[in-house]
Structure 1
Amino acid sequence: MRVLVFFSFVFMAFSSNAVVKRHDIPAKNYVLDKAPKYLIDMPHEGHGVLINPQWIVTVAHTVFYDYTGKKINVGNEAFEIEHVHIHPQYVEIDDALFHGDATPLMNFLKSRSDIALIKLSYPVTDIKPIDIYPNINEAGKEITVFGRGATGNGKTGENLETKSLRELNHFKNIIEDSNGNWLSYKFDKPPYALPLEGMHGAGDSGGASVIVENGKPYLVGLSSWQVWRGNLAYFKGGLYGTTAYQVRVSNYREWIVSVLGSE
């Protein structure tokens, strides 16, 4: 298993990137013509999710600087960002962690809270936000994940040159573990994979991970990073056997409620 992260340069190759697909399934099967309306593209890279008429949740590492006053498109309208709340347990990565053995970087990523909330200047009126999954029994559930990042397949890994295409894709997977801050799943190879098995890639950070129950979609996770073992110089994202981590949104319900209530 490998862990990936997509944060700037080397991190881009490690953090959430675009959808990586099965090698034996036509790539077009993963492509979507329309994004769910609650899926929001961040100003520069990655995604957020509309969870309230005036609030977007995303992973903190997609916020590259103070976005206050910057425009963000929600549906067909550009909204001004009024405020950004970064979780107090989010810490920027020291560049030294991107060199040598991956273990210190993996431990660091797992220890922090990679989540942020973005307040819009006024409420969205024409798009229904997605509700957060109300339970904590995510393990074993099938998820659908969305992203516009780099693509590739499980045999050869992701191709970072495709990242600029910004093609909307989706994939399926099964949550293997839900513990503390994180949900995790593994990119299985055929014949053990789901028909649209996949994993996130570079540029997919913050993309919604959704469970559908009784016909209703619920937000359970946000694409964040992948696992890698060994020397970071040999890192290759999106290979079969890779384990990916997503922010476990249910773990941050109290923090989300407190921030929304404070404003």
Structure 2
Amino acid sequence: MVYKRLLRPANWQDFQRMICSLFERKYNMGVSNLYGRDGEAQHGVDIYFKNVPILGGKNVGIQCKRIDKLRKDIIDAEYEKVCNEFPNPIDIFIIVTTDATKTELQDYSYKKDDPKCEIVFWEKIESDIQLYEDILRSYYKEFIILRDFVSQGNAASKLFVLEFQGTKAEFIITRIPTYEGTFGNGVSFILNLQTKKATYYPIRNKNDLLEIFDHPFDAYAVYHFLQHYNEDNIFADTSIGHQFFIDSKTYDEITKAIEDLNK
């Protein structure tokens, strides 16, 4: 799987909830483990896991830091709170941060061993969260997930299932063979399996997809996705799990195109 860059959460609440969801999955503990409520003293711990089975019953405390620059004095302050104020047993203290990876801080944290201290930087969070499709979609609705990328029959067709913005698009791209039985110069179509409508492929203009998709956003998002391929490699590529973003710039372009369409 090729991992894509994720935007950092817009606020600390979303970051904390996302990290809680991620570690619940990593530790196979499917209950909410957010420690305390807004306004309560948390003594250095935002998320608490008691008796984690896959860690041999160890207790884990996690502090979430949505900051651009983690420093040694911040690590020291949070670690001291856990050691001196946190009322529950703790064997591993993890600081999870949106800061970029710094080996100096990793080495610094390893010197603290009672409890053991670890730092998880944003790059690690990015890669880990993309292992769990449901969590990814919960916090990154602009993410497009290509699934079931399979060949049909003689490999002249491809089935696509794209999920984005809470909707799903299912379509097939098919190349009709020439009379001689080869596919080099045949005609290709894109068929929307939901509306049972088709148009020629490759798509020359994004508005062509308005003929087969009911919603303009779906049509334009699919058009954006198809720009990653040409007519030949869309049939040749047999990989599974391609992932693409509709980034904020593209989202704005799609939204503007829809506004222009409605004028």
State the TM-score bracket (shorter-chain normalisation): under 0.3
Where relative contact order (Cα < 8 A, 6+ residues apart) is larger, the structure is 1
Q: Look at both structures and tell me which one has the larger radius of gyration over its CA atoms.
A: 2
Identify, as 1 or 2, the structure richer in strand. 1
TM-score scaled by length of structure 1 = 0.23
